[in-house]
Amino acid sequence: MVRKRILSYYAIITLLGLFCSIGAADCSPIVQKRAQLYLDNAYKAELAGNLDEAFSLYEEAASLVPNNVLPKMKLASLFTKIGMYTQASRRLDEINLDLLSDFQKAEVYFVYSQIAISKGSAEEAASATKNSLKFNPENIELKILYSALNHLLGFKSKSEELLQHHKSFSGDMSSKALLISFLLDLNTGNLSRAYKSAGALAKYVMKNKNKASTEAAFTSYFLQVQPIYFITFMPLALNGAFYFVYSFMLFCCLGYIILRLSTNGKLWQILAFAIVASSIMLITQHFFFNHMFMEAIKSTFSPNNNIWIAPKLLLSLHFISLALFAIFPMFRILPEKQRPQAHELYGIWFFCLFFMIFICSFQGRIETTYRFGLMSFGAFFALVTSVSIPMGKFIMFKLTSILGLTSVGEMLNTTGDNSFPVSLTEARILQTNSFNMLIEEKFDELIIKGKKILQYHGSAAFPILWQNIIFAMIYVEDFESANKNINEYLEAFAETSHYESGLLYQALLKTKKGDFATALKIIKSFPDNRVKGFTNDETAICLLILGCCGRYYKEFVQAHIDLGKAINFSKLPILKAESLLETTELDYKMNAKVAMQKWAAKANTIKGGPLTTAYCKTVLSMFHAFENDDKRAFALATEATSIVDRCSKIYGWHGHLLNKSGKHSEAEALLSKMTPGTYSTGLLIAELTDNEIH
């Protein structure tokens, strides 16, 4: 703002000088003063962006002093700003150059050059700038402009010749001229002079930082340092060969960090990444440089112009690439096995590429069609590449689960299918998906994949996954493994809030094995505040255990209440079905006909995996046995045992029916498919033994 104010004062003084020197003799002092007032107000309106008011005031000034060149020049500049180049040229053509001094002629030709630049005609601009420089040969800013235009036209040697005697440019020049020289020197390989220009530009940043917005002031804090300014903006114009070498080395170094950091990095990945990333940066710069350079030399230059989408993208990628040198080493604080894999670290850069395409397109002032096209392109590939960044696949999996996109979620959930070791991201996905695997009763798959993850990443890092694995082991009746894992779990989480969850599974295992006294003791040891923190399914397990214990100790009313609550609390179909089976068995023994009809109807509404289905068919079998429909009861019990390979409760009921009908050998044969040591196995053995005694 300070610089703007100084330039405003300077411009007003210049206007006054031009006004007094031309056309003043033909007007009375009062008219001159009035016209000058119009000019001053018009210039202020122009700075404020009120172009309509500025037009009107400049026209008033021009009508008051027809021979004055200044209002016409200002009108021409305004017409140039809004793209009315014909009108701008017509205003300048009205000026009689023979009446002007050399300095004023230089000013007129400079406006001509700005009109040509605004039209995009570098040839006309170069011709006009050459004429302006002829009348003002010592103007270094005109030399820089003329050199830049020659560079754009392909006259490289002439461009370099114009500025070859200048080892550096003074900070007294305008920031625009310094910016042009900075970009020009970078593109021609004059890095020494470009670095000095960067220092002068950094001083401009320092002068204006106090007037900048909070965000801009934060950026300015770093850009006022000459090396940082130079490195930050170097990608905009650095010569192709220099730039490829620089970017290739930059990305090779980044790849080397990835190689040292990850456990599965390869040398060929470094070279492939460096070549692809460098090519993207170089191609992006190649396609926008001339357009950007032409835009930069306009008097109406604005960084918000749509031409700056690509440069902003390039600067962002360069900044991100440098920032990754600080971010990647931070992953070393993680245990080696939990660090991101190589493809995840490379994926960060490509995700940032497409995300920045989306952001820059969103901010760009371009046609809606192109804007949404680029935004869609960036957003789509940002989503695609997001699955390859650390935890990105996990977040996408969670998002698709929330949105109900199960098919997409299944595509993302490839944990442990083909590769080992499993990344931390895939481990998190399996932990999240483990509940769905319990719903679908993919117990064996969960155990195999889960054990692989617990073995590689450490069991303590995934308590929920470990709990679900133990649950799966109990329901496939691998009691030995379940007991071993429970003991290890309790040891790992002895001083944490997860400890009671381990005890709960221990009580469930004791219940399955018929040790109701120990199970009840464990349940009653839980503090009230921890019980309140149980999930619905943990509460259901707790109530199921209490109900089984109550039935064993012949507290049938309380057992019935607990089992009924367990049905309502259960989210897992298998828990709901098992609680229903235990309740049905209780009512079967209590001869509760109405309740039996209710549970039979309930069994037809529960949907789940094979074990859930087998439980529900066993409920229906009990109902038909209660109704003395032995044929249907047998059929349903046989169907239930054909669904699952091992479940002591279901096989025990089938054995009971066989034994009851006198088919003792067939009932005894079922013991081979029942797990030794379970309560249900013990009951069937006792029943068969009782038959032998009698």
Query: Tokens 């949404």 — which residue?
Result: 372
pLDDT, position 36: 78
pLDDT, position 5: 43
145 has a pLDDT exceeding 80: yes
pLDDT, position 25: 42
9 has a pLDDT exceeding 60: no
Over residues 390-397, the mean pLDDT reads 67
Contact 414, 448 (CB under 8 A): no
Half-sphere exposure for 377 (CA within 13 Å, toward CB): 11
Buried b (16+ CB within 10 A) or exposed e, 270-289: beebbeebbebbbebbeebb
pLDDT, position 117: 84
pLDDT, position 481: 93
Query: Tokens 């109807």 — which residue?
Result: 601
Contact 81, 61 (CB under 8 A): no
Q: What is the dihedral of CA 489, 493, 496, 499, to 10 degrees?
A: 30
For 368, the token pair is: 């809606």
The CA distance from 502 to 470, in Å, is 9
pLDDT, position 211: 52
**Other C-beta atoms lying within 10 Å of the C-beta of residue 529:** 8
pLDDT, position 2: 38
Distances (CA, A) of 553 to 137, 514, 559, 653: 110, 12, 9, 20
pLDDT, position 617: 94
For 166, the token pair is: 């200048």
The CA distance from 470 to 479, in Å, is 9
11 has a pLDDT exceeding 50: no
372 has a pLDDT exceeding 70: yes
Mean pLDDT across the chain:
82
pLDDT, position 221: 63
Residue among 67, 46, 68 nearest 57 (CA): 46
Query: Tokens 């944490």 — which residue?
Result: 496
Contact 167, 219 (CB under 8 A): no
The CA distance from 273 to 236, in Å, is 21
**Cis peptide bond upstream of 329, omega within 30:** no
pLDDT, position 59: 78
Over residues 353-359, the mean pLDDT reads 91
575 has a pLDDT exceeding 90: yes
The residue ranking higher by pLDDT, 228 or 18, is 228
Residue type, 294: M
330 has a pLDDT exceeding 80: yes
Contact 77, 65 (CB under 8 A): no
Q: How far apart are the first and last CA of the chain?
A: 108
Distances (CA, A) of 108 to 127, 130, 132, 135, 385: 13, 12, 8, 10, 54
Q: What is the dihedral of CA 504, 507, 512, 518, to 10 degrees?
A: -170
With a CB cutoff of 8 Å and minimum separation 6, the contacts of 432 are 394, 397, 398, 401
Contact 277, 365 (CB under 8 A): no
648 has a pLDDT exceeding 50: yes
DSSP string, 453-492: HHHHH-GGG-HHHHHHHHHHHHHTT-HHHHHHHHHHHHHH
Over residues 218-224, the mean pLDDT reads 65
DSSP-derived secondary structure letter, 423: P
**Other C-beta atoms lying within 10 Å of the C-beta of residue 47:** 14
Helix (H, G, I), strand (E, B) or coil at 14: helix
Over residues 47-73, the mean pLDDT reads 76
Q: Where are the alpha helices (DSSP H) in 493-628?
A: 499-512, 516-524, 528-532, 536-552, 556-569, 573-590, 593-603, 610-626
The CA distance from 666 to 211, in Å, is 93
What's the pTM value of the predicted model, to 2 decimals? Answer: 0.66
pLDDT, position 335: 78
The residue ranking higher by pLDDT, 622 or 456, is 622
The CA distance from 110 to 32, in Å, is 26
DSSP string, 586-605: HHHHHT-HHHHHHHHHHHTT
pLDDT one-digit tens code per residue, 163-215: 877 777 766 777 788 888 888 888 888 888 888 888 888 777 666 655 544 44
pLDDT one-digit tens code per residue, 501-557: 999 999 999 999 999 999 999 999 998 888 888 999 999 999 999 999 999 999 999
DSSP string, 261-296: HSSS--HHHHHHHHHHHHHHHHHHHHHHHHHHHHHH
Which range in 85-89, 152-156, 247-251 is most confidently predicted, on average pLDDT?
247-251
pLDDT band at 280 (very low <50, low <70, confident <90, very high): very high
pLDDT band at 643 (very low <50, low <70, confident <90, very high): very high
The CA distance from 455 to 461, in Å, is 11
Cα 3 to the chain's mean position, in Å?
40
160 has a pLDDT exceeding 80: yes
DSSP-derived secondary structure letter, 414: -
The CA distance from 636 to 318, in Å, is 69
pLDDT, position 18: 43
Question: 234: exposed, middle or buried (C-beta count within 10 Å: 0-12, 13-18, 19+)?
Answer: buried
pLDDT cut 70: percent of the chain above it: 86
271 has a pLDDT exceeding 50: yes
pLDDT one-digit tens code per residue, 17-28: 444 444 444 456
The CA distance from 461 to 198, in Å, is 50
pLDDT cut 90: percent of the chain above it: 32
Helix (H, G, I), strand (E, B) or coil at 263: coil
pLDDT, position 436: 87
- Domain positions in the chain are 167-238, 240-390
The CA distance from 404 to 175, in Å, is 55
pLDDT one-digit tens code per residue, 650-680: 999 999 898 888 888 888 888 888 999 899 9
Residue among 542, 612, 556 nearest 580 (CA): 612
The CA distance from 694 to 679, in Å, is 23
Over residues 291-311, the mean pLDDT reads 72
pLDDT band at 687 (very low <50, low <70, confident <90, very high): confident
